[in-house]
Structure 1
Amino acid sequence: MTNQPVSIEANSISKAYSDYSIQLNRWFLKPIGAWPYFSTTTTYEKIVSVILIVLCYASLLFSIIPCVAHLIFVDDILYKKIRAFGPMGHWLIGGICYTNLLFQRKRIGDCVKHIEADWRIVTKNSEQQVMLKRAKFGRYVSSICAIFVHSGTLSYCIVSGSITQTIDIGNETRTIRTLPLNVYNKIIPVETSPASEIVFVMQFLSAFISNSGGIGFYVFGSVLAAHACGQLDVLAMWINDYVNESGDKKKGTSFKRLEMIVQHHLRILE
């Protein structure tokens, strides 16, 4: 009975540390519906995830399809086609990354479970602090990556939307704002308001979704790499403790300790 509160406290600490290490992944993947399902996931959360996925794809297609139509039916000069294809290519590749992210949700969920199990295995405070140090580094790299990618694309959208150009429509001269992606005006009349503003907001949103698809892989890769380094550090501590133990303490537990070290090493390599 006396060991139960200690066990509960240890589990809560391990849970808190594991949540801390994967927190950024959850923040980046949940808004786009790419966070994996677990046994604790409710039906409501699954429905919300499906709705988010539908909205994300609708936003991406809303931005990409009119741009493709513009490239096909409007731009005749190769230079203009190449110039318009650059931003659209980013949106398109981001959509592919997002799709791949959705297909890999089960494997991502397995990795999350693996991380949580690793934190439960480590019980000593010194070992937890070593892993926590690596987790902080993984979060730092993930944050820098996310800021870099989002700031680049979203700032491009803001700058594009702040530039104005004058066009002639019949006998009328209008001043409109440019858009991050070209739009085929026979599909959406972007020369008028509020169509132009709505398209800009949708393209800005789709840029965020497109970025998040790629960032999801970068962030998760950083967290996994940092976690693996932390596990190797813990393994090195176990080996040092085993080597430095006196001969009397090793008797009877030598093979079990070695077996545990080897199994944990194999677990890290999985």
Structure 2
Amino acid sequence: MAKLNISWSNVNSERDIIKALMWNRWILRILGIWPLVYSNTTTIEKILATILFALCWSALSFLLIPLIIFTLSERTTIYEKIKLLGPLSYVIIATLKYFFLVIHRKNIRQCINMLSTDWRAVHQQNYRKIMNKNVTKSHMLSKFCIMFMYCGGLSFHTVMPFLTHTTIDEQNVTVKPIPYPGFDIIFDLHFTPAYVFVFCAQWFSGIVLFNVTTAVCCLAAMFVAHACGQIEIVMARVENLVKNVQNSRMKEHMAIIVKHHMQSLSKIGFASYKIEWYHLPGKTALDLTLINSISQHPIKITAGKIINLSFSSFCSVLKTSIAYLNMLRTLV
């Protein structure tokens, strides 16, 4: 990137980076993934992360294996199998999310390094304000996701089992409620210590499930908010380009805009089109067509390169979920 003589530098860049990574740092630490995606960690943090990593996989396996056995066993009816599809699919998807977080640790680390580089490279106070504004938005989304997941999840794992109707087994013994059924295949839940162990283990496993889902959402919120901040900065630079037509360092300004635009990988074309580009020198105005051309083919966020993550696809998933719930209600 071209260098400019600047009079202001972001002396608080390290503090800003820590602030931007705050929620993701804590959540990924709980999952034992933080040292895998962030290189600046101590030996003690790596040891604790290894222990937490093993505990998280054990918790997910503790839920997944009995649920699969119970669902596939002959003792369960078709109604019970359909009823178990919801919890089983949620546990499987959360396990896959955790697996892909580990598999794509290098990509996450690269994104975090790019985020840190952008914070260290900011050279104007108003650009820092733009980035801090978007960090605040990402923190709000992260807080909402954490509150939503923990309020709903803890209610399901702690309150809902005791609100359901009590059942009596074939030996005329009352079955104690647990969040996830099927564990009586392995454990004797009539034995109080075994029941307490299973209930607490399921509760701990639920915490891992919440953190996995929350980690994915918080990472997405942080990176999307940061990308939005970079887009706003590029748009501000494009608008300032017209104001500095007579500046002798215009070519260097233009080089910075093009480089920053390529790093941001998005739709800036509207900003470059609506400015008074006709006041620019001919060759400089012609360079803006490159920005417009790239903006005609924006990068799309996909889920495994299968479906585009957009508002329309979200509505389609929501309609499918409602149809599935209606089918379950009909069967019940």
Match of 2:168 in 1: 167
Alpha-carbon distance in 2 for matches of 1:246, 1:73: 75
Post-superposition shift, 1:37?
4.3
1:257 equivalent in alignment to 2:253: yes
Provide, for residues 184-242 of structure 1, a one-character-per-residue CA deviation record: whole Å limited to 9, x for no partner: 42411112212112111111111221222222222111111111111111112222222
Match of 1:87 in 2: 87
Match of 1:157 in 2: 157
Question: Given that residues 176 and 189 in structure 2 are in contact (C-alpha distance below 8 angstroms), is that contact kept between their aligned partners in structure 1?
Answer: no
Moved more, 113-122 or 182-191: 182-191
Match of 2:224 in 1: 225
Post-superposition shift, 1:40?
2.2
Post-superposition shift, 1:75?
3.5
Query: What's the TM-score once normalised by structure 2's chain length?
Result: 0.71
Post-superposition shift, 1:168?
5.1
Moved more, 32-41 or 111-120: 32-41
1:266 equivalent in alignment to 2:267: no
Alpha-carbon distance in 2 for matches of 1:184, 1:199: 8
Alpha-carbon distance in 2 for matches of 1:240, 1:234: 10
Post-superposition shift, 1:129?
0.8
Provide, for residues 121-154 of structure 1, a one-character-per-residue CA deviation record: whole Å limited to 9, x for no partner: 1122211111111111111112212322332222
Task: Note the 1:34-183 alignment, pairs <5 A.
Answer: 34-35=33-34, 36-73=36-73, 75-163=75-163, 165-167=166-168, 170=171, 174-183=173-182
Question: Given that residues 235 and 264 in structure 1 are in contact (C-alpha distance below 8 angstroms), is that contact kept between their aligned partners in structure 2?
Answer: yes
Match of 2:206 in 1: 207
Provide, for residues 77-130 of structure 1, a one-character-per-residue CA deviation record: whole Å limited to 9, x for no partner: 100121123212211211111111111111111111111111111122211111
Question: Given that residues 161 and 177 in structure 2 are in contact (C-alpha distance below 8 angstroms), is that contact kept between their aligned partners in structure 1?
Answer: yes
Post-superposition shift, 1:176?
4.4
Post-superposition shift, 1:65?
1.6
Alpha-carbon distance in 1 for matches of 2:170, 2:16: 61
Match of 2:24 in 1: 25
Alpha-carbon distance in 2 for matches of 1:184, 1:37: 35
Post-superposition shift, 1:174?
4.2
Query: What's the TM-score once normalised by structure 1's chain length?
Result: 0.87
Alpha-carbon distance in 2 for matches of 1:90, 1:108: 24
CA RMSD of aligned residues (A): 2.3
Q: Which residue type is aligned with residue 61 of structure 2?
A: L
Larger RCO, structures 1/2 (Cα 8 Å, 6+ apart): 1
Q: Which residue type is aligned with residue 228 of structure 1?
A: A
Question: Given that residues 91 and 207 in structure 1 are in contact (C-alpha distance below 8 angstroms), is that contact kept between their aligned partners in structure 2?
Answer: no
Alpha-carbon distance in 2 for matches of 1:245, 1:73: 74
Alpha-carbon distance in 2 for matches of 1:71, 1:229: 44
Q: Which residue type is aligned with residue 184 of structure 2?
A: N
Question: Given that residues 67 and 182 in structure 1 are in contact (C-alpha distance below 8 angstroms), is that contact kept between their aligned partners in structure 2?
Answer: yes
Q: Which residue type is aligned with residue 77 of structure 2?
A: I
Moved more, 113-122 or 85-94: 85-94
1:194 counterpart SS class: helix
Q: Which residue type is aligned with residue 167 of structure 1?
A: I
Match of 2:3 in 1: none
Provide, for residues 55-80 of structure 1, a one-character-per-residue CA deviation record: whole Å limited to 9, x for no partner: 11111111222222222336431001
